[in-house]
Amino acid sequence: MLKIKNGRIVDSKGKEVRLRGIALGGWLMMEGYMLGGRNIPEHVFKANLAKIYGKAFLKKFSRKFRSSFVSSHDFEKIKKLGFNCVRLPFNYRILEEPDGLRYLKNVVRDLAKNKLYIILDMHAVPGAQNKDWHSDSAGEALFWESEKHRKKYISLWKKLAITFKNEEWVAGYDIMNEPVTKKVKLLLKGYQQTVDLIRLTGDKHIIFLEGNNYATDIDFLSGIKGENLAISIHFYQPFQFTFNILPEARYPGEVAGRKWNKIEIRKIFKEYSDFAKKLGMPVFVGEFGIASRSVDRGELSWVEDVLEGFEEFDFHWTYWTYKSVKGMALPDGLFQLSDPTGIIGNPAQISGMENFYKILKNRSSEFYKIWDTKNFKLNESLYSILRKFVLL
């Protein structure tokens, strides 16, 4: 079981472990852009699906999609690619399904069989921690407005800690993905309560604490107390470039009035590193990634400069993300799908997930088959960069 000693992650023998991995985005927390369409919140998409086809169909859909999008073969593939860690984003709603906790236990078991460390990431919390689709929000962050949501959130982490506290291949818990709130004291209080409750179960796993404002602002974490705590950040700067908001943007170069290059990135990382050292905590970059396009915009140079910075400052990391439909605007997958069947829609950006409502009635078997990773193509250029750092 991993722990933190003198600001570094070590194993039970005291040997330092550097987590270098990948996130399984879009799987246990569906995100529209990865699946070929508009970013409809998962609960809204599924509610619409149930209205059209019924609750029994929805249950079957969830089961079939999960087994086709990622399977134990993917875990073997991730291991063979050299990664040693998987960040596992999940919607809290899976824990409210009758067999949801058991399903999560089975996933952890299968990852452990491949000797992959697992970071359990509650990607969407009760009420939603920000206003975006990736917290399963329909436009409101009600977690910060309701004590009921906050109590449920803490109780779910207690349940998870009791379930996984003896799992050696669980590297730790990323207890809240990308919070966004002006109520920073409430965020700190919520983190502290969750940390304390997890420890009361006897669970000693590392707890990863994300910064406010999409895991970028970490100053408030100076007030946290406890052992085996790590700082978690996400890095997509400059986001106008990495998210392809400005298609004309190039790296290195000026983006939105600011010069971006290796030196600028290093300055940001040094600030994070200096702060973390004062607290005796390691830094885990839970997400970084880029939208790959057919035109070379310097994406690979950005990835290489970022990874060099991680090595210099001893940051742990998981790349966002493992697989996605090709050609979407936001950070996409190491494995990418170009769909010739029309199941996803052509072009995907226009019909998107709404297309799923139409085709599932008569073409559901094709739908489930298309998500098998054997239909996805490895982004060789991206992997050639990641590989150099994965195998260090």
Give 15-29 pLDDT, tens digit per residue: 999 999 999 999 999
Mean pLDDT score of the chain, rounded to an integer? 95
DSSP 230-271: EEEEEE--SHHHHTTSSTT--SSEEETTEEESHHHHHHHHHH
Q: Would you say residue 204 lies in a domain?
A: yes
**Which residues are within 8 A (CB) of 297 and not within 5 positions of it... i.e. 6 or more apart?**
241, 247, 249, 250, 251
- Over 60: is that where the pLDDT of 350 sits? no
What is the DSSP pairing of strand 85-91 with strand 117-124? parallel
The pLDDT score that the predictor gives to residue 140 is: 98
Angle at 15 between CA 288 and CA 76, to 5 degrees: 55
Cα–Cα distance measured from residue 124 to residue 28, given in angstroms and rounded to the nearest whole number: 10
Q: Is the dihedral of CA 276, 277, 282, 286 positive or negative?
A: positive
**Both tokens of residue 153?**
């959130």
Q: How confident is the model over 201-234, as pLDDT tens digits?
A: 999 999 999 999 999 999 999 999 999 999 999 9
Cα–Cα distance measured from residue 29 to residue 89, given in angstroms and rounded to the nearest whole number: 6
Measured between alpha carbons, how far is residue 300 from residues 36, 324, 388 in Å? 23, 18, 13
**pLDDT band at 352, cuts 50/70/90?**
low
Q: How confident is the model over 325-347, as pLDDT tens digits?
A: 988 789 999 999 987 777 775 54
Angle at 349 between CA 346 and CA 352, to 5 degrees: 80
pTM, to two decimals: 0.97
Q: How confident is the model over 238-286, as pLDDT tens digits?
A: 999 999 999 899 999 999 999 999 999 999 999 999 999 999 999 999 9
Average pLDDT in the 173-194 region? 98
Q: Are 367 and 343 in contact (CB under 8 A)?
A: yes
**Both tokens of residue 260?**
């971006």
Q: Would you say residue 392 lies in a domain?
A: no
What is the DSSP pairing of strand 258-260 with strand 253-255? antiparallel
Cα–Cα distance measured from residue 87 to residue 170, given in angstroms and rounded to the nearest whole number: 10
The pLDDT score that the predictor gives to residue 346 is: 53
3-state secondary structure of 10: strand
- Domain of 235? 3-385
Q: Per the structure, how many domains does the chain have? A: 1
Q: Would you say residue 181 lies in a domain?
A: yes
- Over 60: is that where the pLDDT of 153 sits? yes
Q: How confident is the model over 284-294, as pLDDT tens digits?
A: 999 999 998 77
3-state secondary structure of 227: coil
Average pLDDT in the 295-305 region? 94
Burial class of residue 275, CB neighbours in 10 A (0-12, 13-18, 19+):
middle
- Over 60: is that where the pLDDT of 348 sits? no
**Both tokens of residue 367?**
């739908």
**pLDDT band at 193, cuts 50/70/90?**
very high
**Which residues are within 8 A (CB) of 261 and not within 5 positions of it... i.e. 6 or more apart?**
251, 252, 253, 305
Cα–Cα distance measured from residue 141 to residue 24, given in angstroms and rounded to the nearest whole number: 24
Q: How confident is the model over 30-44, as pLDDT tens digits?
A: 999 899 888 999 999
The pLDDT score that the predictor gives to residue 326 is: 86
**Both tokens of residue 345?**
């829609």
Identify the CATH number of the domain in which residue 377 sits: 3.20.20.80
Cis bond before residue 216 (omega within 30° of 0): no
- Over 80: is that where the pLDDT of 349 sits? no
Q: Is the dihedral of CA 126, 132, 138, 139 positive or negative?
A: positive
**Both tokens of residue 183?**
């109520």
Q: Is the dihedral of CA 185, 186, 191, 196 positive or negative?
A: positive
- Over 70: is that where the pLDDT of 79 sits? yes
Q: Would you say residue 390 lies in a domain?
A: no
Angle at 40 between CA 294 and CA 194, to 5 degrees: 105
3-state secondary structure of 298: coil
**CB contact burial 52-89 (16+ within 10 A = b; e otherwise):** ebeeeebeebbeebbeebbeeebbebbbebebbbbbbb
Q: Are 298 and 251 in contact (CB under 8 A)?
A: yes
**pLDDT band at 322, cuts 50/70/90?**
very high
Cα–Cα distance measured from residue 72 to residue 124, given in angstroms and rounded to the nearest whole number: 24
Cα–Cα distance measured from residue 177 to residue 192, given in angstroms and rounded to the nearest whole number: 16
Measured between alpha carbons, how far is residue 250 from residues 67, 308, 384 in Å? 38, 19, 21
Q: Would you say residue 245 lies in a domain?
A: yes
